[in-house]
């Protein structure tokens, strides 16, 4: 006996409360449906349906069997879909929301390689720092700094950023090299503030935690704009390390207070919990982990 087919037949008969209606739904002959149910009852040693000339109802054993079958058939269908998709080419629309600084500096340069790997995916990326409603706004993935309070989302850590204090060589010639955050506070600053983010940054120094409340001399909501202003030499800035790494190497910017270790700020890829995660999301998050996980470990 094909038990999977028998379960599907029993579920269809229970749903329609009719052998003939179940046969039409399953595209089987009515005698075939009757034969399968009879064989199933003989195999189980119990009656699954009470039949009269006017109605057909489940017995207690039949109700238990059908409820269990529904769960097993659903798991089977999910497994078949998952295995089938793993061997198919991802296709369709992938919508991503990403924080601006990481998106501009890191994600954007990495996307051409991803599109070459998966040419049948159409990708749309929205850069911005606001929290989006993944389901309500029809985004597949959101890339954000730090954990989110929404426990209904799956979070995959893909990168770690650190906020460092930087200034131009001209700034250092004018004001000198500060030794403490208290001294830095007396100098002009140009800093990124977006909502509540950026108003305070945390550092470790001599085994102590120091929360540095950023002076609001000149604030902007764009990290790239802050970097460009910092390069003029007017003020110091606090910026993600990945934004200023090359500037420091090429002496356009100088890291101030290198003995003050900034806290790590993890960057996560968030996506909605599902019984079966679409392949386009799996391959995208896997690619982010591959590209930025390697960079994060350097």
Residue 53 sits in the same domain as residue 173: no
Final residue of a domain: which of 32, 62, 86? 86
3-state secondary structure labels for all residues of 37-66: HHHHHHHHCCCCEEECCCCEEECHHHHHHH
The predicted model scores a pTM of 0.69
pLDDT tens-digit map of 115-153: 999 999 999 999 998 888 888 899 999 999 887 766 678
Residue 144 sits in the same domain as residue 71: no
* Number of domains the chain contains: 2
Residue 95 sits in the same domain as residue 76: no
Provide long-range contacts, Cβ within 8 A and 24+ apart, for 209-218: 210/181, 210/260, 212/181, 212/185, 214/189, 214/238, 215/185, 215/189, 215/191, 216/191, 217/188, 217/189, 217/190, 217/191, 218/188, 218/189, 218/190, 218/191
Residue 226 sits in the same domain as residue 279: yes
Final residue of a domain: which of 53, 86, 119? 86
The rounded distance, in Å, linking the Cα atoms of 190 and 234 is 8
Final residue of a domain: which of 70, 86, 102? 86
Whether 83 shows a pLDDT value over 80: the answer reads: no
Q: What is the pLDDT of residue 276?
A: 74
Q: Which residue has the tokens 């985004």?
A: 139
Residue 201 sits in the same domain as residue 286: yes
Residue 152 sits in the same domain as residue 241: yes
pLDDT tens-digit map of 257-293: 999 999 999 999 999 987 678 889 999 999 999 999 8
What is the average per-residue pLDDT within 1-18?
90
Confidence band of 81 (pLDDT split at 50, 70, 90): confident
Residue 235 sits in the same domain as residue 173: yes
CATH of the domain at 154: 3.40.190.290
Q: Which residue has the tokens 């910092």?
A: 230
Whether 69 shows a pLDDT value over 80: the answer reads: yes
pLDDT tens-digit map of 85-118: 665 778 899 999 999 999 999 999 999 999 999 9
Q: What is the pLDDT of residue 297?
A: 53
Residue 20 sits in the same domain as residue 118: no
Residue 182 sits in the same domain as residue 79: no
Residue 155 sits in the same domain as residue 79: no
Q: Domain range holding 283?
A: 91-298
The rounded distance, in Å, linking the Cα atoms of 44 and 91 is 44
What is the average per-residue pLDDT within 35-43?
91
CATH of the domain at 17: 1.10.10.10
Residue 189 sits in the same domain as residue 296: yes
Residue 276 sits in the same domain as residue 175: yes
The 3-state DSSP composition of the chain as helix, strand, coil percent (nearest 5) reads 45, 25, 30
Query: What mean pLDDT value characterizes the chain?
Result: 90
């Amino acid at each position: 006996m094909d038990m999977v087919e028998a379960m599907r037949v029993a579920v269809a008969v229970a749903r329609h409360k009719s052998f003939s209606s179940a046969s039409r739904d399953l595209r089987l002959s009515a005698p075939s449906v009757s034969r399968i149910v009879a064989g199933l009852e003989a195999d189980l040693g119990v009656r699954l349906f009470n039949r009269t000339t006017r109605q057909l109802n489940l017995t207690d054993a039949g109700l238990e069997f059908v409820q269990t079958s529904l769960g097993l058939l659903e798991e089977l269908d999910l497994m078949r879909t998952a295995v089938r998709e793993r061997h198919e080419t991802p296709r369709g629309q992938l919508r991503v929301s990403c924080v601006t600084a990481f998106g501009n500096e890191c994600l954007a340069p990495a996307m051409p390689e991803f599109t070459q790997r998966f040419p049948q995916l159409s990708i749309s990326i929205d850069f911005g720092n606001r929290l989006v409603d993944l389901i309500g706004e029809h985004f597949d993935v959101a890339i954000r700094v730090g954990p989110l309070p929404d426990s209904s989302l799956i979070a995959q850590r893909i990168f770690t950023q650190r906020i460092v204090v930087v200034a131009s060589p001209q700034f250092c010639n004018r004001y000198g090299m500060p030794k403490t955050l208290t001294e830095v506070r007396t100098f002009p600053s140009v800093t990124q503030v977006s909502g509540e983010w950026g108003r305070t940054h945390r550092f470790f120094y001599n085994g102590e935690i120091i929360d540095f409340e950023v002076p609001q001399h000149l604030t902007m909501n764009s990290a790239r704009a802050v970097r460009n202003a910092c390069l003029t030499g007017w003020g110091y800035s606090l910026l993600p390390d990945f934004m200023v790494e090359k500037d420091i190497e090429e002496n356009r910017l100088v890291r101030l207070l290198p003995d003050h270790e900034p806290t790590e700020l993890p960057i996560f890829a968030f996506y909605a919990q599902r019984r079966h995660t679409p392949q386009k999301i799996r391959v995208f998050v896997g690619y982010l982990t591959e590209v930025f996980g390697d960079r994060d470990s350097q």
